[in-house]
Amino acid sequence: MTVNAVKVKKDERVAPQSGALRGRDIVCFSHDWTGDPLSKTHLMRVLARDNRILWVNALPNRMPTAAAKDVSRIARKLRSFAEPVREVEKNIFVLNPLVIPAYGNDAVVSLNRKLLVRQIRRSMRRLGFENVVNMAFNPAAGLVAGNLGETELIYYCVDEYTAFTGVAAGLKELEEELFRKADIVIVSAEKLLESKAKFNSETHLIRHGTDWRHFRKAVDGKLELPADVADLPQPIIGFHGLIADWVDLELVKKIAGHFSQGSVVLVGKHTIETEGQIAELRSVANVHILGRKPYSELPAYCAAFDVAINPFVINELTLAANPLKVREYLAAGLPVVSTDIPEVRVLADVLVGETHAKFIEKIEEALAHPKPRAAVSDAIRAESWEAKVDELRKIIEERS
């Protein structure tokens, strides 16, 4: 349903309710709705049960290159700008904004601000949004923070964004402005709490949840294994997620060499920066690079894995990361081995390998002494997205 068809009347809106973040209109700045479901997606789906959401598709955080993937993405963005706002799920409306991917020039920043404010305010009017909460997951939302007539501003920071490769000039300053303007800042990792609290005294830690019921399907033994993994030699050492430059593909290659009688399976799309290493990995006989799969199919792939891995390089970006995939692996009942990321150390059923050699040793240990899958899954059941929204509501209520 498009926004022109919506023209929401007052009696059709979400009814006001008692308590924080209920019966409200929320403008959410996040990644593209059509991308893989991330923490933002899960949180907004829970909030949409009691609120209406205007989901603003991704504002660029990095400078585009001349690479074919970037050119194609820009073309898609330009085409999508002409599309009307549409209701993609109950109470979730998606806006495709037009933004110039540069923030280091005052004139461009001013133009971007005017463009965005005009686009978002127009959509808010057509949807009949009132008493708006601005919930930003994207640091580039600092462009318009405080300019939308919002009554509350929440910055939900889940990454060390300025540590990403190719980050746009000026993004650091925009994000710092967003930190300072926010009524509440939420971070998803202890390292982020340590580094961001200096900008805003109302900075709070809420670690990620998991879509437990979805991934629990991998434990029940009722899923048909996908054809591209069903007959692979075991053990199957699996990974799902974006294959970017924070994934240690040299470690993946060593794992494949050590477990040469088994299979290494990578599920997910890869970025421009990893194309060379991906091409090299394709030549390794027991490495299977399967590309992006629908979210609905991930439990079936997890059911095929004997052990799941989180092979992140160790750098400024990953030390502040809270890898969502690790909780998804656990919800699927899998033995998990990770590099030494602080946020995985709070999870009892994750084995940590501090070096490549120790990582491989931990895979051997996980294969030799697996815990019952149902027990591993049950241990993370309480870490639901509903529970995380409850944590957010409690923080808001205690502040008011």
* pLDDT value, residue 341: 97
For the range 42-45, what are the long-range contacts, defined as Cβ-Cβ under 8 Å and sequence gap of 24 or more?
42/209, 42/211, 42/385, 43/156, 43/385, 43/388, 43/389, 43/392, 44/92, 45/89, 45/92, 45/385
**Cα gap 48→45, rounded to integer Å:** 5
- pLDDT at residue 72 is higher than 90: no
277, amino acid identity:
Q
215, amino acid identity:
F
**Cα gap 225→220, rounded to integer Å:** 12
At residue 1 the predicted structure's pLDDT band, cuts being 50, 70 and 90, is low
Share of the chain above pLDDT 90, in %: 81
Which residues lie across from 236 on neighbouring strands? Answer: 263
Across 20-28, average pLDDT: 97
Domain annotation for the chain: domains and CATH numbers: 3-209+385-399 (3.40.50.2000), 212-378 (3.40.50.2000)
365, amino acid identity:
E
* 278-289 pLDDT, tens digit each: 999 999 999 999
Q: Which residue reads 């590099």 in tokens? A: 339
The residues, any chain, with a CB within 8 Å of residue 81's CB and separated by 6 or more, are: 96, 97, 98
* 190-204 pLDDT, tens digit each: 999 999 999 999 999
Give the DSSP per-residue string, 302-327: HHH-SEEEE-B--SHHHHT---HHHH
* pLDDT value, residue 306: 98
Q: Kindly tell me the sign of the dihedral angle through the C-alpha atoms of 221, 227, 232, 235.
A: negative
177, amino acid identity:
E
Average pLDDT, the chain: 91
* pLDDT value, residue 107: 86
At residue 168 the predicted structure's pLDDT band, cuts being 50, 70 and 90, is confident
**Cα gap 143→117, rounded to integer Å:** 9
* 140-155 pLDDT, tens digit each: 999 999 999 999 999 9
Query: Angle 275-282/249-258 helices, nearest 10 degrees?
Result: 10
* pLDDT value, residue 185: 98
Q: Kindly tell me the sign of the dihedral angle through the C-alpha atoms of 265, 362, 343, 383.
A: positive
**Cα gap 295→35, rounded to integer Å:** 10
- pLDDT at residue 163 is higher than 50: yes
* 262-283 pLDDT, tens digit each: 999 999 999 989 999 999 999 9
Return the H-helix or E-strand segment holding 254: helix 249-258
Name the strands in the sheet holding 92-95, side by side, starting at the edge strand that comes first in the sequence.
Answer: 86-89, 92-95, 52-56, 25-29, 132-136, 152-157, 184-187, 203-205
3-state class (DSSP) for residue 133: strand
* pLDDT value, residue 62: 54
